[in-house]
Chain A
Amino acid sequence: MNRFVVALFGTVVLAQDARQIVEEVQKRSRSKSQKYEGTLEVIDQRNKVSTKRWEYARLGAFGESRSVLRFTSPPEVKGVALLVHNHPDRSSDQWMWRPAIERDQRIALQDRSTRFFGTDFSYEDLEERDVNQFDFKVLGEESIDGVACWKLESRPREKKVSQYLYSHVWVRKDHYVYAQIEAFNKTGLARKIKYSDVQNVQGLWTSKVVEVFDVAKKSRTVLKFEKLQYNLTIDADLFTLQALRRAS
């Protein structure tokens, strides 16, 4: 009996630790807004490289944010935009804007596992992950690229519709930033996301290079952040469906 109570208590402590770690990650990376220009290199399994660029802006943080992402190159996709409204208690709402047909299109939940416009990000990967939409537990401690990390498991809660059954998340102990995520769906490992080039930007430790590997496609996308800024004044009017049309 006593052994059972001790084991249960131990599990609760570990679970709390995992949540506390991720809460600390969120606390340390919290900003009221963000803006950057991203360069994406998509490298397919035959090592053919295609380059894309987008501009990204976010207002709010973790579960109560709105973001818009707009391609600036190549010319063929220039102006294509994705609007994301993140919610604290459920999956995000997403709309795609295609300037060629001057119309927006709602991205349904069941379609979020699709690759986003020829990159290795899925639509779901472009949502913000709020700590309250997942359950966590500590799996252990490991090093990624020589940096000590906590290895956690995260599972989406019931209200969070996700293509992923669970993920393994590595959090750097030095700056409380993500080092790596391995996301698993019902067939196994689906995506591997690696964060590198960690820099202090306006007091926030930030990975300026994110590499996503699509296991099934054997394709990877490297996203590099440029002109990254936090806590700027951004007009809330930029994050509406009408704003997509106005900006096209």
Chain B
Amino acid sequence: MSLLVFALVLQAQTFEHRGFMEFRGLGFPQTTINDSGHVVGESLLRYESSWRPKPWLKLQSGFDARFDTHRQFDRELRLDLEDRRTQRPALSLRRLSLQAHKGRWTAEVGRQFIRWGKADILTPTDRFAPKDFLNVAYSDFLAVPATRVTYENGADTVDVVMQVRFVPSRGPLLNQRWATLPSELDGIAVRDRGAQYPGGVQTGARWNHVGRGYEYSLMFYEGHNHLPLFNAGLESLQPLAIGVQRYFPHLRQYGGDLVVPLRWFTVKSEVAYYQSKTSDVDEFVLYVIQLERIVGEWTFVGGYAGESVTQTTGNRLLFAPDRGLAKAFLGRAAYTIDTRRSIAFDIAARQNGKGLLARAEYSQTFGQHWRASAQLSLIRGDESDFLGQYRRNSSAALILRYSF
């Protein structure tokens, strides 16, 4: 009886949920120095819910449960609240936040997703959005524990964020194929020596203006980069081993973005200046300009991501996919065949000709709940290039998803 009453109370107060179960099979024709596997199987159960006890108050939560055949995912069945470990957790709190809204003000406290920026193919101003790069070609966003206050006044919105605990992007595992080790290290053990996580808070503010036929934003960030640098040192001579430790440099960032729909294309642009107090970090500008157009059932996005280094330290011990995708031409074409089927093509080609990532995907829904997708990824290039270093990681994938 009490359960029924509870359920009725929840119903009255608006409880919503959604999620999916996904199975992914990846096949890699080539092996790498540190990974002899050809096939990887992954599964993910994602459950998200929201409960609105009052019209102005909302509790949002999300949980992930994962398993894989390649031990990229942890197998310890404990709920990971931090998402800081090198392996993807088996059970993780994807989000848990409380949102309150009054008039023009919205405040959200807790683990949440914060997305800034307007570009699609590279978003340098998307500062509170660390990613999971266990598979560099298919990364996923991670939530951050933060307080976010938003003030909206007509066409203007001001967003202030204070992230109370640092969340790093998750890099590739050293014993897996996406951590590419130079051939000179063949036979030398490389050991993970953990990470030095910065304390303190990360803060940022963004002002967004929606004009008549255009939108733009300006942003500022003070904190640390969620992408790591590495300290490397000799661990032992017999057997020969190197230890690698991650650290996360200070980052101050100024940036902006712009959307202008023109007669033939929508122009989207984003630019950010990266500055740091950490001594061995480059200072540079990342920018993106992209054109977007929908023609019938086709969607086209094409653009250029550029980088201009204003001060270099020559430090090469870093993992920086954002800079790795810069100085590149990027494009996407998607075609909706009918209400159930679609195809998409993506390409990223470095302007130096030393790196190329091309992907094709076919996707089809079955009934109200099932979707099957087939993906092909081709990676080519030179070992010295960010994309080219993954040239042995071309793959085929089959994905089956049940949404509920």
**Interface residues, chain A, with chain B CB atoms under 8 Å away:** 42, 44, 48, 50-51, 73-76, 78-79, 93, 101-103, 106, 108-111, 113-115, 118, 217, 219, 235, 237, 240-242, 246
Contact = CB atoms under 8 A, between A and B. Distances in A.
9 contacts: A50-B340, A50-B368, A74-B368, A74-B403, A76-B401, A78-B18, A115-B336, A118-B339, A241-B157
Given A42-B339, A50-B340, A246-B99, A106 B261 contact: yes
Contact of B58 (A76, A111, A246): A246
Contacts of B371: 76
Prevailing SS type, chain A contact patch: mixed
Nearest to A42: B339
Contacts of A113: 296
Contact of A111 (B18, B293, B369, B404): B293
Contacts of A108: 261, 266, 292, 294
A108 B152 CA distance: 22
Contact of A76 (B114, B215, B261, B365): B365
A148 B353 CA distance: 68
Interface of B: 18-20, 55, 58, 99, 101, 103-104, 106, 113-115, 141, 150, 152, 157, 210, 215, 259, 261, 263-266, 292-294, 296-297, 336, 338-340, 365, 368-369, 371, 401, 403-404
B266 A106 contact: yes
A112 to B, nearest CB: 9
Prevailing SS type, chain B contact patch: strand
A75 B340 contact: no
A57 B201 CA distance: 40
A37 to B, nearest CB: 14
A48 B263 CA distance: 36
Contacts of A73: 368
A240 B154 CA distance: 8
A110 B103 contact: no
B340 A240 contact: no
A115 B58 contact: no
Contacts of A235: 55
A44 B338 CA distance: 8
Q: Specify which of B20, B297, B368 lies most central, judged by the most chain A CB atoms within 10 Å of its CB.
A: B368
Given A75-B18, A237-B103, A246-B99, A50 B339 contact: yes
